[in-house]
Copies of this chain bind each other. A is one copy, B any other.
Amino acid sequence: MDSGKKVEIVERYVSAYNARDIDTILSLYREDATMEDPYGTPPVSGKEALAALYQEGFDMGVVLALDGRPRCAGNAVAFPLLGTTEQGKLFIIDLFEFDADGRIERMRAYWGPESVEGEMEL
């Protein structure tokens, strides 16, 4: 998969997130994709479960922005993100792995309690 295509998906993902456009977000995923957010918690699968997880961030008022250049390799793209709310900041690295059709089949978000600045409650 072309790197330009991957970066385009990352950019669509971030704008769709900020527009609370869950349909666009889900359209980037395979039906049976898994999401580990944060990595280390049990993987969530299925569009309803993914939608519920995104809704939690929307309810907190999280706004995402790229916090560095996306890095493409193999079937994957890794990219630093900054999540901001009125209460604080969260520093994240997301990792998408794509299937042969260019859909995200595995999403992992790397962040932990020490990735928070301010009073954000996660």
- Which residues of A are at the interface with B, using a C-beta cutoff of 8 A? 3-4, 7, 38-41, 67-69, 71-80, 91-93, 95, 109-115
Whole-angstrom CA separation of A110 from B108 in the bound complex: 14
Whether B68 and A95, one on each chain, are in contact in the complex, defined by CB atoms closer than 8 angstroms, is no
State which of B39, B69, B74, B77 has its C-beta within 8 Å of the C-beta of A74. Answer: B39
Whether A93 and B80, one on each chain, are in contact in the complex, defined by CB atoms closer than 8 angstroms, is yes
Whole-angstrom CA separation of A79 from B39 in the bound complex: 14
Whether A93 and B112, one on each chain, are in contact in the complex, defined by CB atoms closer than 8 angstroms, is no
Residue from A73, A74, A110 whose CB has the most chain B CB atoms within 10 Å:
A73
Considering the complex, give the chain B residue whose CB is closest to the CB of A117. Answer: B69
A49 to chain B, nearest CB (A): 19
Given contacts A78-B93, A93-B93, contact A72 B3 (CB under 8 A): no
